[in-house]
């Protein structure tokens, strides 16, 4: 039995880990244990360590690794866990059993129209400072807001964070059967959800991320009377906003179908946009929907195919420009974002300097609410003062 050992890179490279920075790990059956020492400290992540049986020789030829394509970054290596007796239980089934109850903090299922949404809620309708709606982007879920919304409710706000249809723990209808993952349908179903939640008065809105995150902003442009103030975390805001490789791959025939079924896609996307590696318990939650069924992957595939990224960014840029929008906007921007550079936020602010306040968040990447929630909370509390 054989194994190729990976020596850790120098510490200076730790903060630049991305989904393509590591080579596939090699591992075999019962004598091998693949384990990951996970870290989420702000000084850089710890890397995985491989062990092997002491009887193995250095010159042994590495065994074939059929799972190599999902073991090329630190967190996704933990997705491959070989049991003592591989024939007794499947790898995916074992993982689902371990993580199936994780990640539903503050959440419950809400029936709205034909679909069931998973919605997180903190605080109460009687909260003295108003209601905040948090909208996530693709390919993630409302779990990213769990810390922020908990602390915001402690500050006196009533908070909701839904998983968009097709994402997280919400329903994933098959395209062509009542939902085709178009921008218009996302807007319509979100409207229905607000009615079911009893959100009838103007509220504070927080939006982050690609695709469905952008749809949160285009919905806002159509419903300005429903918004008190708007806070935007790292989201494509101008036509110069780059489109990440994930969404480009999803739009390529055959490659898209293969890409959308990668169970570690979401955690890879998060880590590639940040300087940090997710802790195992967090990576488990982002991975869970894609492990549970093929539905989330095909939902993302359909949404990506139907999206017009540049046209949507153009609508956002012009819609929130001076003369078109006059309500307060906070752009709280993680400056270590590997997808959207700081220049995007600065360009957006110049388009409406009278309404847009720019707050740069050091130490945070593409998802500031996950990387440094305390700084996001401080910025939101200051901005939402009424």
Q: What are phi and psi of 194, to 5 degrees?
A: -60, -40
CATH of the domain at 335: 3.40.50.1820
> Is 12 a domain residue?
no
pLDDT at 22: 40
Chain-centre distance of CA 383, in angstroms? 24
Rounded distance between C-alpha atoms, residue 98 and residue 110, angstroms: 25
> Is 370 a domain residue?
yes
Cis-peptide, bond into residue 9, ω within 30° of zero:
no
pLDDT at 68: 42
> Is 80 a domain residue?
no
Domain, as residue range, for 374: 105-384
Q: How many domains does the chain have?
A: 1
- Dig out the tokens for 223 from the structure: 């419903």
Rounded distance between C-alpha atoms, residue 292 and residue 7, angstroms: 33
> Is 14 a domain residue?
no
Q: Which of 8, 6, 4 is nearest to 45 (CA)?
A: 8
Rounded distance between C-alpha atoms, residue 60 and residue 74, angstroms: 25
Residue with tokens 């159509």: 222
> Is 31 a domain residue?
no
Rounded distance between C-alpha atoms, residue 136 and residue 144, angstroms: 8
> Is 343 a domain residue?
yes
Residues facing residue 333 across a β-bridge: 360
What burial class does residue 188 get, using C-beta atoms within 10 Å of its C-beta: 0-12 exposed, 13-18 middle, 19+ buried?
middle
> Is 348 a domain residue?
yes
The model's pTM is 0.77
Reading the chain (386 residues) residue by residue, the pLDDT tens digits are 444 444 444 444 444 434 333 443 343 333 333 343 334 444 444 444 444 343 344 444 445 444 444 444 555 444 444 444 443 444 555 555 555 667 899 999 999 999 999 999 999 998 889 999 999 999 999 999 999 999 999 999 999 999 999 999 999 999 988 899 999 999 999 999 999 999 999 999 999 999 999 999 999 999 999 999 999 999 999 999 999 999 999 999 999 999 999 989 999 999 999 999 999 899 999 999 998 889 999 999 999 999 999 999 999 999 999 889 989 999 999 999 999 999 999 999 999 999 999 999 999 999 999 999 999 999 999 999 85
- Contact assessment for residue 20 and residue 259, using Cβ atoms and an 8 Å cutoff: no
> Is 82 a domain residue?
no
- Contact assessment for residue 294 and residue 284, using Cβ atoms and an 8 Å cutoff: no
């Amino acid at each position: 039995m054989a194994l190729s050992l990976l020596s850790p890179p120098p510490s200076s490279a730790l903060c630049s880990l991305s989904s393509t920075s590591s080579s596939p790990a090699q591992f075999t059956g019962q004598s091998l244990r693949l384990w990951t020492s996970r870290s989420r400290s702000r000084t850089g992540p710890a890397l995985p360590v491989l062990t092997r049986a002491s009887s193995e020789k250095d010159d042994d030829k590495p065994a074939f690794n059929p799972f190599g394509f999902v073991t090329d970054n630190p967190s996704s290596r933990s997705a491959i866990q070989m049991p003592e007796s591989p024939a007794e239980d499947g790898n995916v089934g074992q993982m689902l059993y371990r993580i199936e109850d994780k990640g539903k903090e503050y959440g419950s299922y809400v029936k709205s129209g034909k679909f069931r949404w998973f919605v997180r809620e903190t605080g109460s309708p009687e909260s003295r400072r108003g209601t905040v709606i948090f909208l996530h982007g693709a390919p993630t879920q409302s779990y990213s807001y769990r810390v922020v919304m908990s602390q915001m409710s402690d500050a006196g706000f009533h908070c909701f964070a839904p998983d968009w249809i097709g994402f997280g723990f919400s329903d994933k209808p098959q395209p062509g059967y009542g939902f085709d993952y178009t921008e218009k349908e996302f807007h319509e179903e979100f409207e229905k959800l607000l009615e079911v939640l009893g959100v009838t008065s103007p509220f504070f809105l927080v939006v982050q991320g690609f695709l469905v995150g952008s749809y949160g902003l285009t919905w806002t442009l159509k419903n300005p009377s429903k918004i008190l103030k708007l806070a935007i975390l790292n989201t494509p805001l101008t036509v110069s906003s780059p489109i990440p490789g994930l969404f480009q791959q999803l739009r390529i025939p055959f490659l898209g179908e293969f890409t959308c079924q990668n169970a570690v896609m979401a955690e890879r996307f998060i880590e590639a946009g940040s300087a940090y590696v997710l802790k195992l318990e967090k990576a488990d939650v982002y991975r869970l929907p894609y492990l549970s069924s093929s539905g989330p992957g095909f939902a993302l595939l359909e949404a990506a195919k139907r999206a017009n990224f540049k046209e949507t960014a153009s609508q956002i840029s012009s819609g929130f420009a001076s003369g078109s929008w006059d309500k307060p906007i906070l752009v709280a921007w993680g400056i270590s974002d590997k997808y959207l550079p700081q220049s995007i936020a600065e360009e957006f602010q110049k388009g409406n300097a009278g309404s847009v306040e720019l707050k740069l968040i050091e130490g945070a990447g593409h998802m500031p609410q996950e990387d440094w929630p305390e700084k996001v909370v401080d910025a939101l509390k200051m901005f939402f003062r009424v």
